[in-house]
Amino acid sequence: MRISRSATLSLRAIALLYLTLLLLLPLAVVFARTFEHGVGAAWDWVTTPAAISAFWLSILCAAIAVPLNTIFGVGAALVLVRGKHRARAVLDSLIDMPFVVSPVIIGLALILVYGQGGWFGSWFLNHGIRIIYAVPGMVLATVFVSLPFVVREVAPVLREIGDEQEQAAFTLGASGWQTFWRITLPSIRWGVAYGVVLTTARALGEIGAVLVVSSNVAGSTLTLPLLVYQRDSQIGGLSTSGAYAAATELAVMSLLVLLVMTVLSPRRNEAE
């Protein structure tokens, strides 16, 4: 079925209007409110001790979650695509759990497991290790919600390239690690890179699960999304300005991640 040029233009206009109202306009308002009192005032808000601590804690959570989920994601993708056992279906379903379960429920589940009186919480507390309402719990929540992305980006690439080259390497005497480093990993590198970018974006922007397991103390357990939430909840115009400034900082980080995704997208498509 052919679509007329006028219909195509109308659909494009509707799509552009939809994106403008839901995405571009709110983002423009955030930037405008951030700088309404000048660049200096906005800079003062993003350089407060609480804002600097929140920025570095967000980076820390992402810096731990992304490598862990990258290693897990590549391994899980190999099991799903190259494995032969029946447990693959169970693993495949479990990997999608962060997509279908509310982040708030994830945070509550972590409290039930690692909180005081939880399955393992008392043991950790008795050994001087605090997980819930501390940074370790926030990292666990971040790892959980960002877990599926590398798997879901790498698995289709593995299916597309097949295993002929890997089988040939085994035939020539290569070990499993040699085959992985010299054959498999170079073939899936762009899928891995794209999955890493998506995982980073999810880790930096997570608030639901992290909010539940955080003590929300400025300077110690506040990430940037939590800082925006806390400042916006406070009464007073100055706090609102601080919330907009922190939101702009988070938006800039997200736009940088989007730029990297745009750059990697053509290479990822070629790899598939």
Tokens of 100: 């279908």
Q: How many domains does the chain have?
A: 2
pLDDT per residue as tens, the chain (272 positions): 566 777 777 888 898 888 888 888 888 888 888 888 888 888 988 899 999 999 999 999 999 999 999 999 999 999 999 887 777 888 888 899 998 899 999 999 999 999 888 888 888 888 888 999 999 999 999 999 999 999 999 999 998 888 888 888 888 888 888 888 888 888 898 889 989 999 999 999 899 899 999 988 888 899 999 999 888 887 665 677 888 888 898 888 888 888 887 877 766 666 55
- Same domain, yes or no: 15 and 70: no
Structural domain that includes position 11: 1-34
Do 167 and 221 share a domain, yes or no?
Answer: yes
**H-type helices in the chain, by residue range?**
5-19, 25-34, 39-46, 49-82, 88-95, 97-100, 103-114, 121-126, 135-145, 148-161, 164-171, 176-179, 185-205, 208-213, 224-233, 237-271
Helix (H, G, I), strand (E, B) or coil at 223: coil
The angle at the Cα of 111, spanning 107 to 114, to the nearest 5 degrees, equals: 125
Using the CB atoms, write b or e for 50-73: b if 16+ within 10 Å.
bbebbbebbeebbebbbebbbebb
Pair 102, 170 in one domain: yes
Do 130 and 264 reside in the same domain of the chain? yes
Q: For position 122, which CATH number holds?
A: 1.10.3720.10
